[in-house]
Amino acid sequence: MKIPRSKKQNGFSLIEALVALVVISIGLLGIAGMQALGVMQSNQSRLRSLAAFQAASMVSLMRANPAYWQAAANFSTDPNNPTKLTVNAQGELHGITAGACDSNTCTPAQMAGWQVQQWGRSLNILPGGEGTVQCAAPIGANVSCSVTVNWNENRAAAPGSTASTATAALQKYILTVTP
């Protein structure tokens, strides 16, 4: 009895083509995920760089007005309870009064308030941007100030977590200086 021979296979079968398509699709999804993560990290890095620039900008303004910022009489003598000046991106001040120094002559205190207010308005480049300057002048020591920039940063849910959406996290950049 003669056993029939099977025909020789030519080319790919449909199953092999589908398996190759699945493998390529998984690879492309991985590349898309890495691209999304890279874009998110670039945005976070941009916001952190802007915050550092804004804090350095306030320090420059402080050094331009030494008559106010170096005067220990303007600040608390208790380093644990420093004098706190806050401003938001709309320029709303707390802890200091701004003068109209863009067209008038101002005292050093009014100039400091005006500069802090203008600085606060420049914080609108950060989402939810706010700034704080805390200064203390301990007896027998120089004035020491901390410039803080706060902003909201969107973060994607971590892989494997139960959260399904991005969350906003409050970020903070602090620069300590002796004006």
What is the domain partition of the chain in residue ranges?
14-155+165-177
How crowded is residue 119: how many other Cβ atoms within 10 Å of its Cβ? 22
Tens of pLDDT along 3-29? 766 666 666 688 888 999 999 999 999
Question: Hey, what amino acid is at 90?
Answer: Q
Task: Determine the 3-state secondary structure of 175 from DSSP.
Answer: strand
Report residues of the chain scoring pLDDT below 50: none
Q: How far apart are CA 29 and CA 98, in angstroms?
A: 54
Q: What angle do CA 7, 22, 35 make, to 5 degrees?
A: 150
CB atoms under 10 Å from CB of 59, counted, come to 18
In the Cβ-directed half-sphere of 101, how many Cα atoms lie within 13 Å? 17
Q: What 3-state DSSP class applies to 137?
A: coil
Dist CA 143 CA 165 (whole Å): 44
* pLDDT at residue 172, as a whole number: 95
Cα 55 off chain centre by: 11
- Helices 14-64 & 108-122, crossing angle to 10 degrees? 170
Q: Residue 143: name the closest of 57, 54, 51, 59 by CA.
A: 59
In angstroms, rounded to a whole number, what is the distance separating the alpha carbons of residues 106 and 27? 64
* Full strand arrangement of the beta sheet holding 83-88: 93-94, 83-88, 130-136, 144-155, 167-177
